[in-house]
C-alpha cells in the first residue's frame, strides 16, 4: 500500500481532506481569515450535538467529586495542553484545590511548551502515568484525543478503569477506540479541518468548549457559584481583589466600605462575606452555616 492510499483510506474524519479548501494557499489574508472563522462555527455545532453526552458525564462525575474525588485529565499534544489549561484554571476561578485537578500529558511537563515526538504513541506510559497519579475509585478521568486512537490516552483510560475510576472520553471522530473504552463517551464530530489534519483548529476549539462546560457545570453543581457569580474565586492579584469586592457588593447590595470590611473579616472569601452580610453574622458563624450545606451559598441563605 502506498503512502497516498494509506492517507486516502484513513477512516478518521479529522484526517480527511476538505475539497472546499484546495486553493487555500492562493487566498488573500481577508479570505483566509473568513475561511478559518466560518469553519470554526462547526465546533459550536459539534458541541451542541454533544449536549446530552456532556450532561451525562457531569451527572456521573458529580457524586465522586462530592465525596472528595479528583479530576484527572489525560491527553497528548493539543488535547493534552487543553487539559492542562482547564485543570490549571479551576484553582483561581473556583478555589478548587490544585491537588484535585491533575493534568497528565504525553511527554510530561516539557510537552506543554514543545512537541515531544513519539510520546503519544506509548500506551504503557499512559498506564504508568495514571498509576503514578494514584488514580482510584473516587476519581474522574477525562481523556481527550481528537483522533480517538492515541495510544497514550488509551493506556491511561485502561489503567483508570482498572483502578475503578469513572472515565470520560472526548473524541472528534465517531466509532473510535476511545469512545468505546470509556464510561461516558462524548463525540465532538467536527469533520475535516481547513488545513488537513491540523486538529489544533476546530477540533481543538470543540474540545476546549467541552472541557469548559464539563468543569464549569461541575463547579456550579458543587456550590462554587451563587446565582451566576463566581463566589469561590481566589483573589491572588489586584484585578481579582477588585472583582471579589464587586461580587460581594453586587450579591448583597452593600456599599463598598461594608463589603470591604466583610471581605477582610472573611479572609478574602467572597462566599463567606456574602453570608456574613446577608445574615448579619460573623465570619465563624458564616463558615459554620456554609459547612452544614456543603458550601452552597444559596441553600445556606434559603435555610435561614
- Alpha-carbon distance of 236 to 256, in angstroms, equals 20
Bridge-based pairing of strands 140-144 and 184-187 is unpaired
Side-chain-facing half-sphere of 283: CA atoms under 13 Å: 12
120 is catalytic: yes
Residue 284 in grid coordinates: 465563624
Query: What residues pair up with 169 in beta bridges, in sequence order?
Result: 143, 185
Alpha helices in 50-150 (DSSP H): 51-66, 77-94, 123-132
Catalytic residue among 15, 89, 241, 285: 89
Per DSSP, 226 falls in state B
Is 35 strand, coil or helix? helix
Query: Scanning the structure block, which residue is given the C-alpha cell 487539559?
Result: 83
Residue 237 in grid coordinates: 492579584
Q: What are phi and psi of 185, to 5 degrees?
A: -80, 140
Catalytic residue among 99, 117, 120, 285: 120
For helices 270-279 and 256-265, give the axis angle rounded to 10 degrees. Answer: 120
What's the gap between Cα 168 and its chain centre? 11
Number of Cβ within 10 Å of residue 64's Cβ equals 17
Q: Which residues are catalytic?
A: 89, 120
Amino acid at each position: 500500500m502506498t503512502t497516498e492510499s494509506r492517507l486516502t483510506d484513513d477512516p478518521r474524519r479529522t484526517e480527511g481532506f476538505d475539497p472546499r479548501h484546495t486553493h487555500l494557499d492562493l487566498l488573500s489574508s481577508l479570505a483566509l481569515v473568513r475561511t478559518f472563522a466560518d469553519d470554526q462555527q462547526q465546533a459550536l455545532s459539534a458541541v451542541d450535538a454533544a449536549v446530552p453526552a456532556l450532561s451525562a458525564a457531569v451527572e456521573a462525575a458529580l457524586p465522586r467529586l462530592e465525596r472528595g474525588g479528583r479530576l484527572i485529565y489525560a491527553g497528548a499534544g493539543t488535547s493534552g495542553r487543553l487539559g492542562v489549561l482547564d485543570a490549571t484554571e479551576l484553582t483561581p476561578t473556583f478555589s478548587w484545590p490544585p491537588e484535585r485537578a491533575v493534568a497528565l500529558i504525553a511527554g510530561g511537563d516539557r510537552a506543554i511548551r514543545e512537541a515531544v515526538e513519539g510520546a503519544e504513541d506509548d500506551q504503557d506510559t499512559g498506564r504508568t502515568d495514571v498509576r503514578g497519579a494514584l488514580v482510584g475509585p473516587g476519581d474522574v478521568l477525562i481523556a481527550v484525543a481528537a483522533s480517538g486512537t492515541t495510544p497514550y490516552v488509551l493506556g491511561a483510560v485502561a489503567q483508570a478503569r482498572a483502578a475503578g475510576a469513572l472515565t470520560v472520553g472526548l473524541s472528534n471522530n465517531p466509532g473510535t477506540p476511545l469512545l468505546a473504552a470509556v464510561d461516558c463517551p462524548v463525540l465532538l464530530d467536527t469533520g475535516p479541518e481547513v488545513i488537513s489534519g491540523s486538529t489544533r483548529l476546530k477540533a481543538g476549539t470543540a474540545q476546549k468548549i467541552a472541557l469548559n462546560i464539563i468543569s464549569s457545570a461541575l463547579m456550579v453543581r458543587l456550590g462554587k457559584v451563587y446565582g451566576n457569580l463566581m463566589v469561590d474565586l481566589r483573589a491572588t492579584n489586584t484585578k481579582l481583589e477588585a472583582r471579589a469586592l464587586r461580587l460581594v457588593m453586587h450579591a448583597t447590595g452593600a456599599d463598598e466600605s461594608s463589603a470591604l470590611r466583610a471581605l477582610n473579616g472573611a479572609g478574602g472569601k467572597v462566599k463567606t462575606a456574602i453570608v456574613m452580610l446577608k445574615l448579619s453574622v460573623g465570619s465563624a458563624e458564616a463558615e459554620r452555616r456554609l459547612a452544614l450545606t456543603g458550601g452552597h451559598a444559596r441553600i445556606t441563605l434559603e435555610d435561614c
